[in-house]
Structure 1
């Protein structure tokens, strides 16, 4: 009497395998091209961007959270505040996030894939927001002070955007809603706090998104509602990435096992 041979065990994907660096660079490059395409689409409808800006302010007044003006004036009136926050807005967003990505890729390959996927999904959702709801930043409205423009002689940026002088056309001037500055900062702080054992670094990770909130509102580049939307975008990206990861891990186990008989 023959017996069925036990099916070979099916192992889950090894999450410790580090993705190839060139694939990651290509993915981030594709994200930049997508961002650039959205910028070109939004630039044609700047009138709608100002109308949406007033809609955001009206909503904040209804919710009684429209405190951008006081924070902006307090930051812009003192160079000791305005200059460091201008540098923070022009630098940290583009430096800290890549550094955290590289750190996870090298030191925490087991969590890198899920973290990167969450960031990519959240960024795509943010780009959809820029496209479907273009919004002029507070610095373009009466009553606000463009902090980076006021202190543009202190840095390399021009008086039109946080980009280097003469390159303002390369940025999306109407990408206020949601704030990816705050969203990416929340992602960075979350990854740092959950993947390091150094207490001081975990504290810095927790404070980083709070600091970025002060930066973007104080320099009049985002509304308070933009920051809240940025946090919601990151939360949605993390949720969708976790669901995708669970499906990827369970997929091999769901395949029907084929019984084999010994000869």
Structure 2
């Protein structure tokens, strides 16, 4: 059964609260996932050796290029330190406002992939290339060009706030993962050639930036793509599970409120309906009988005031007259009165 989509836009305050809770949990998890430095360095060197064996060591020439040419290195540092935190929320807001039917699945995909990335940080703490020994040939461009921006020598954190980030959370690269998510959203839901172009360019530029600034290995970027793929596969089951839980909770809640308490009488509306089934008037008599004592029948009488007595000449609105019950004329009333005299 496919997961449900609702036409109504989600509540903005609930979404904001959910995203804030997930991001705070993710940030706290990154700090708690700080592994042993020697283990992180060993993992980083193992990745570097594997890349060299497979001729995938793209970060070495890119880092050399960004280090030697400030016109490339400085913009790359700005991209690494800012767009990750600006573009992704902007696209979330855009989807929320313009594509509310698609927003829930997109948000769930992003959150699941982020939590999977946190698992990767915990299981595989990895030293980024910029923190390896200088003999491996990498330069920390963020530290080299720190005078141009707000960051220091500790990843993209502002100066003096390096202790609030885990510098050994390189595997997988969520910079690349989130950029891929942004690209997919722009490609799927963008209407203009410009958005389609940005959908392709943004993930590619981000991949080059994370390697050229020596913050990630090429295999970190590959792992970021894999994490997003896993999150995409889990999105539909996660939404189905959420819908099932919501439906059960709603049914349980409505069942408690809808069922009358044991031993209580039916409400006024029920009593009224029971007494007027046959079109008669219920005066609260036992058994739901009419005022004339006639039993309530299951069929509706064709005469509006069936069974009710009226004064001479009085007619209930909508009541039909029949040949068997003619209305006395004014002349008949006069003759009757004369006879009485």
Shared fold per TM-score greater than 0.5? yes
More off after superposition, 139-148 vs 216-225: 139-148
> 1 or 2 for the larger relative contact order (CA 8 Å, sep ≥6)?
1
Paired with 1:124 and 1:146, the residues of 2 have a C-alpha distance of: 28
Cα displacement string for residues 96-155 of structure 1 (whole angstroms, at most 9, x for unaligned residues): 000000000111000000000000000000000001111011100131010111000011
Q: How does 1:52-91 map to 2 (within 5 A)?
A: 52-91=43-82
Counterpart in the other structure of 1:5: none
Q: How does 1:81-120 map to 2 (within 5 A)?
A: 81-120=72-111
Structure with max Cα Rg: 2
More off after superposition, 136-145 vs 29-38: 29-38
TM-score, structure 2 length as denominator?
0.67
Cα pair 1:68 1:220 within 8 Å, conserved: yes
Cα displacement string for residues 191-228 of structure 1 (whole angstroms, at most 9, x for unaligned residues): 01100111111111111100000110000000000000
Tell me, which stretches of 5 or more residues in structure 1 are unaligned? 1-11, 253-262
> Cα RMSD between the aligned structures?
2.1
Paired with 1:137 and 1:41, the residues of 2 have a C-alpha distance of: 18
Paired with 2:5 and 2:179, the residues of 1 have a C-alpha distance of: 29
Paired with 1:221 and 1:187, the residues of 2 have a C-alpha distance of: 20
Paired with 1:134 and 1:185, the residues of 2 have a C-alpha distance of: 22
| Aligned partner (choices 158, 166, 186) of residue 160 of structure 2 | 166
Aligned length: 243
Please report how far the alpha carbon of residue 246 of structure 1 lies from its aligned counterpart in structure 2 after TM superposition: 5.3
Tell me, which stretches of 5 or more residues in structure 2 are unaligned? 248-297, 299-341
Shift in alpha-carbon separation, 1:235–1:74, aligned structure 2, 3 A: same
Shift in alpha-carbon separation, 1:14–1:114, aligned structure 2, 3 A: closer
Please report how far the alpha carbon of residue 68 of structure 1 lies from its aligned counterpart in structure 2 after TM superposition: 1.2
More off after superposition, 198-207 vs 105-114: 198-207
Q: How does 1:120-159 map to 2 (within 5 A)?
A: 120-141=111-132, 142=134, 143-159=137-153
Counterpart in the other structure of 2:259: none
Cα pair 1:15 1:111 within 8 Å, conserved: no
Please report how far the alpha carbon of residue 250 of structure 1 lies from its aligned counterpart in structure 2 after TM superposition: 8.8
More off after superposition, 167-176 vs 15-24: 15-24
Paired with 1:236 and 1:43, the residues of 2 have a C-alpha distance of: 24
| Aligned partner (choices 227, 230, 234) of residue 233 of structure 1 | 227
